[in-house]
A and B are shown apart, each in its own frame.
Chain A
Amino acid sequence: MLVPTFTWGAVMHWLRTLQAYPAFLRISLLSNLQYRASGAIWMIGSILEPVVYLTVWSTVARSQGGSVGGYTPEEFAAYYMTLLLVNHLTFTWVMHEFQYRVQYGHFSFALLRPIHPIHEDIALNLSFKAVQLAVILPALILLGLAFHPRFDLDPLSVALFLPALAMGFLLRFLFEWTLAMAAFWTTRVTAINQSYFSVQMLLSGRVAPISLLPSWVAAAAGFLPFYYASGFPVEVALGRLSTDQVLRGFGIQLVWITVAAAVISLVWRRSARKFTAVGS
């Protein structure tokens, strides 16, 4: 079960689960290292997207006399460079992959193991990101040279950034894993995925920092989960939020993590029963 309950049995179960991580990480790290180049190609899109919106908003800021919504071009550069890093560390591809796992019966193997398959997914995701940082970090340096970002970092913001990022990762992972389970019931997952990505794009802070969105859209983004996995950690790092806003954000992150974990543990058993392996 994913929602921890504090009995001795549960604690032992969690410890045993954590013991599997080093092995998962080692295996997935090796397989990711094998396909470095193809992985690097997938990074082009992740790097280009923030560059595009950074350019768009810098153009707007300049035409509005130097700043728009409290951001100068240099501050947009800081925002989108941090977002590039955060989005790289929090994105998942499970929603694309589940369709094939069900279609080709890959779940048959995962179900035989005495451990919830989400743990292997988390390990795979972490090790892919660690390997691809070799592309992301040089890209960030080059972008820094090209766009002259202005960072006003203070130690407290940076310290708060780490838990915000970690919870953002967990939130997005659990949330997308939940949605991905729809593949057990329908073959039309691309329609669901497209709906999710369209909303996520706008409300996560990728199209614009959410303070630039029209007020009712920004209000919606303020309690939905999307922003708390991308824009929120970025704004925490850049010190753009008040203490109240940061605390409230952590609270909302925790609420959504709990909701998603509860949904996964409730739905997983039913969906595994729903799954009928394809093939001989």
Chain B
Amino acid sequence: MNALRLLVVYFRIGLLGEAQYRVNFLFQLFETGLGMASVLAAIWVVFSQTDTLGGWKPAELTALIGIYFIVLGSINVMVAPSLQKFMEDIVTGNFDYTLTKPADAQVLVSLSEVRIWRLADVLLGAVALVVSIVRESMVVGWVEGGKFLLALLAGAVMVYSFWIVLATLAFWFIRVENILQIFWAMYTAGRWPVGIYPGWLKWTLTLVVPVAFAVTVPAEAVSGRASGTSLLGALGLACVLFAFSRWFWRVGIRKYAGASS
């Protein structure tokens, strides 16, 4: 509960800080809109040559793109900028100040920076998702809706845990920003359902970088093709990854000796 309260406080501070630069929201909307248009154009080109792609209909793929942007925005609002700042703080020594604060350090470093305008990604993603559902008059009942939210939650937890593990590596290595680049490169592969990829890539995107669980599985839930067992599996894996990342963080922080010489 303490963590939730901190989340609200930091979010408010971030909102106040960024509210000075409101025009940035318009620019972010413009940039995200362009990015989305370019992805949708690719889908349009593909479906000008075929009716289904690996069993996915056009509207199901645009729903998947919506989810892709929702998750992308969620990462970029807080997790990515905060953990990036954490890694810089390790180098500069500012992390010592975080440690002196009377709250859990992992919570603090996960919340320290807010890029509120990246909510534009979430907003446009949600629009794409809703428009796809309505236009195709997909039947999304309580069951599919609930499955979708559960899948999204599991995916979000896995992505967060993955980021914590990567960020924790900063305790041992210095140039970790480059490692984060692996995540971003892999994440772009999530614009298409991972099922179409060859085995080695599919498994990498499922087990090494949790793109499949963050984007494809929630999209399967919306289009009503996610089974109960795969959802349970996702939730279980999310718990395991979360516990592992927490343990790994503790190991890292115990190893940390401070920045002073």
Contacts and interface: CB of A to CB of B under 8 A. Distances in A.
A212 B189 CA distance: 21
Interface stretch (A53-61, A87-95, A174-182, A255-263): A53-61
19 contacts: A45-B188, A52-B188, A55-B197, A56-B192, A57-B46, A59-B53, A60-B50, A63-B50, A63-B53, A68-B50, A69-B49, A146-B200, A191-B27, A191-B31, A197-B38, A198-B35, A198-B37, A201-B42, A208-B42
B50 A64 contact: yes
A212 B45 contact: yes
Interface in B41-81: 41-42, 45-46, 48-50, 52-54
B2 interface: no
Given A191-B31, A207-B41, A56 B184 contact: no
Interface of B: 27, 30-31, 34-35, 37-38, 41-42, 45-46, 48-50, 52-54, 175, 178-179, 181-182, 184-186, 188-189, 191-192, 196-198, 200-201
Contact of B181 (A42, A63, A202): A42
A213 B45 contact: yes
Closest 9 pairs between A and B when the two form their complex, measured CB to CB: A45-B185, A198-B38, A38-B178, A44-B185, A194-B31, A207-B42, A60-B50, A41-B178, A198-B34
A120 to B, nearest CB: 23
Interface string A142-174: 000010000000000000000000000000000
B203 to A, nearest CB: 14
A190 interface: yes
Contacts of B37: 198
A48 interface: yes
A259 to B, nearest CB: 24
Contact of B46 (A37, A60, A197, A217): A60
A191 B53 CA distance: 32
B49 A48 contact: no
Nearest to A198: B38
B181 A201 contact: no
B30 A191 contact: yes
A35 to B, nearest CB: 8
Given A45-B184, A194-B31, A194-B34, A208 B198 contact: no
A188 interface: yes
Nearest to A199: B38
A194 B196 contact: no
A190 B117 CA distance: 14
B117 to A, nearest CB: 12
Contact of B45 (A37, A48, A63, A207): A207
A68 B53 CA distance: 13
Contacts of B52: 63
B192 A52 contact: yes
A63 B54 CA distance: 8
B45 A60 contact: no
A64 B34 contact: no
A78 to B, nearest CB: 17
Contacts of A197: 38
A214 interface: yes
A51 interface: yes
B211 to A, nearest CB: 11
Nearest to B31: A194
Interface string A200-223: 011000011000111001000000
Given A41-B179, A55-B197, A63-B52, 7 more contacts: A41-B181, A44-B181, A45-B181, A45-B185, A52-B192, A55-B196, A207-B42
